[in-house]
């Protein structure tokens, strides 16, 4: 880990659990530069100065910063692979992992890692903040402290939440079920189609019935092949033939998430259906998800989706857009067989969809 900036906070407690905190960038790790008034990344040695409570958590903490922290708008599959490699290389040494990440693409990254790490037996929590850590009213302090506590928690020597999660403002969400819903409120994330994994007030109240428990006897699998030759086609009234044709004429295109209306409906114009049929004949994978934040795709419920069902377009059920596109990238990266890819997309891998 020589290329990373590392800070360790030791615990006075005997046999304290160890948590690795990985900083990728984002608002949480920013402070105001008094000379310029601009936000700049804070130095890790300042973290105890800003959050002295970290010394009282009875956990061994190791902070690791990526060499070049980025705004989450610049996150790419390369970052996901790096995060998976860090977790893989440190998996046996830590009870859990916290990833500090910008909020704009956090749901994409959490979804991606939920597919890239299989048979997970430890907690991976994404968190961030709406206000920088140096601001008096910042939400960074509570988000970070609670995320660390959750990542370091165990019951009968096993992690309580062996999932990739997002923690924000009193809610622990399954990562591949979460969506960012607010840009200016502290409750930035929600999970419309799946209950919270925990709600945090005075106590941390875990919703044990909804936590996905893996077979503890299986070794975790780390999948680092991601294929980004994909696209998202969001339908809108007035979408025209030339636009859709140009979209599908990209030579490298291997998969498309169709973001359709309601329960999976699309325009029934002949030209549109012919373009989709041609794409399928060219072995482009088509996955149908709804533009709605709640509910699910039921192709064939209305006539406007019946043709797509007959063609063999895959139903995304109640997957979020973030889960759908990252699952598609993961599936394409790990198989060249169209049948295997479709089979992976149609089944539940990491709790991302209701069958």
> What amino acid positions are annotated as catalytic residues?
27, 103
As given in the structure block, the two tokens for residue 351 are: 């709790």
Q: Give the 3-state secondary structure of 65-120.
A: ECCCCCCHHHCCHHHHHHHHHHHHHHHHHCCEEEEECCCCCHHHHHHHHHHHEECC
CA distance 331 to 115: 9
Count the helices and strands in the chain (H runs, E runs): 9, 21
Three-state DSSP class for residue 285:
strand
139 annotated ligand binder: no
For residue 190, give the nearest of 176, 180, 205 by alpha carbon: 180
154 annotated ligand binder: no
- In the block, residue with structure tokens 């759908």: 324
103 annotated ligand binder: yes
CA distance 110 to 69: 17
CA distance 165 to 123: 8
For residue 310, give the nearest of 319, 326, 299, 302 by alpha carbon: 299
Which residues does the annotation place in the binding site? Answer: 72, 103-104
Annotated binding site for substrate: 72, 103-104
């Amino acid at each position: 880990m020589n290329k990373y900036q590392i800070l360790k906070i030791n615990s006075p407690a005997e046999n304290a659990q160890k948590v690795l905190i990985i900083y990728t960038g984002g608002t949480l790790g920013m402070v105001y530069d008094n000379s310029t008034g601009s936000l700049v990344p804070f130095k890790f040695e300042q973290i105890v100065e800003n959050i002295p409570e970290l010394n009282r958590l009875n956990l061994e903490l190791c902070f690791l910063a990526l060499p070049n922290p980025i705004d989450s708008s610049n996150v790419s599959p390369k970052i996901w692979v790096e995060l998976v490699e860090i977790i893989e290389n440190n998996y046996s040494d830590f009870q859990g992992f916290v990833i500090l990440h910008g909020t704009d693409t956090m749901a994409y990254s959490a979804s991606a890692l939920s597919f890239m790490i299989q048979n997970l037996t430890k907690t991976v929590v994404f968190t961030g903040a709406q206000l920088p850590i140096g601001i008096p009213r910042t939400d960074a302090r509570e988000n970070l402290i609670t995320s660390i506590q959750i990542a370091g928690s165990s019951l009968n020597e096993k992690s309580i939440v062996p999932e990739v999660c997002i923690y924000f403002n009193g809610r622990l969400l399954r990562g591949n079920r979460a969506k960012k819903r607010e840009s200016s409120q502290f409750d930035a994330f929600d999970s419309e189609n799946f209950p919270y994994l925990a709600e945090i007030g005075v106590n941390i109240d875990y919703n044990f019935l909804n936590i996905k428990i893996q077979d503890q006897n299986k070794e975790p699998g780390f999948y680092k092949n991601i294929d980004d030759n994909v696209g998202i086609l969001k339908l809108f009234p007035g979408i025209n033939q030339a636009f859709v044709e140009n979209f599908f004429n990209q030579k490298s295109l291997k998969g498309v998430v169709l973001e359709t209306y309601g329960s999976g409906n699309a325009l029934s114009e002949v030209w549109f259906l012919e373009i989709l049929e041609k794409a399928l004949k060219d072995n482009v994978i088509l996955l149908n998800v709804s533009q709605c934040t709640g509910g699910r795709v039921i192709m064939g419920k209305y006539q406007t989706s019946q043709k797509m069902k007959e063609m063999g377009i895959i139903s995304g059920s109640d997957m979020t857009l973030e889960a759908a596109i990252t699952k598609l990238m993961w599936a394409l990266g790990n198989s060249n067989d169209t049948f295997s890819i479709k089979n992976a997309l149609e089944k539940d891998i990491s709790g991302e969809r209701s069958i």
